[in-house]
Amino acid sequence: MTSQMLVEEFRRDIGHVSSTVDAREIRQKSHDFHWYSPVLTPQLENCMADIVVRPQSEEEIAAVVRAAVKHRMSLTLRGGGTGNYGQSVPLKGGVLLDMTGFNKVVAVERGHIRVQGGSVILKALEAALASRQQLMMYPSTMRSATIGGYLAGGFAGIGSVRHGIIRDSGMIESLRIMTIEESPRIVTLSGDDT
């Protein structure tokens, strides 16, 4: 089966989930700021996804995961693409899962905020400020970096001198993650597991 046929079958299986095979958009979404590195640039510059999907709900993400597993397609997650280590570059084609459509601020409570992984950090900060609170830390790329991408590939940021880095106790209280398998499961991690 050709790559194009595989992508067509994958698209049928994900139904109405937003997707594109436009070469220009695939090229743009397949790269982060790895080009800062003279080592990574030649290794990653030709790496491209076969398709970009942009789900907007947990159900749509699960449909993408099921289809990727069914068709044995690699799955690369991408937030805002502000990382510079190549974490969101699809090394072997496949599906690039653009999380920026999964972007709601779910709840703002005293001392806590819950957001979806594709939420831009500035949106979370604005929600915290509207409730007369502040995020303990955020990156200088907050206008385009997503919470999920920052947690997956970030380390520190504005506020770290006072409050610590991402892995420090209390920074992240819990995470809801989805497994990558035929029947994706939601797993909640809390405490030291985050």
Residue type, 160: S
- The pLDDT score that the predictor gives to residue 1 is 66
Question: Stretch 174-183: mean pLDDT, rounded?
Answer: 96
pLDDT tens figures, 28-76: 999 999 999 999 999 999 999 999 999 999 999 999 999 999 999 999 9
Residue 1's alpha-carbon distances to 5, 8, 34, 171, in angstroms, are 6, 11, 32, 46
Q: CA 152 to CA 78: how far, in whole Å?
A: 10
**Tokens read off for 130:** 């509207």
In this predicted structure, the answer to whether residue 191 has a pLDDT above a threshold of 90 is no
Confidence of residue 155 (pLDDT cuts 50, 70, 90): confident
pTM of the entire predicted model: 0.93
Backbone angles phi, psi at 106, to 5 degrees: -80, -45
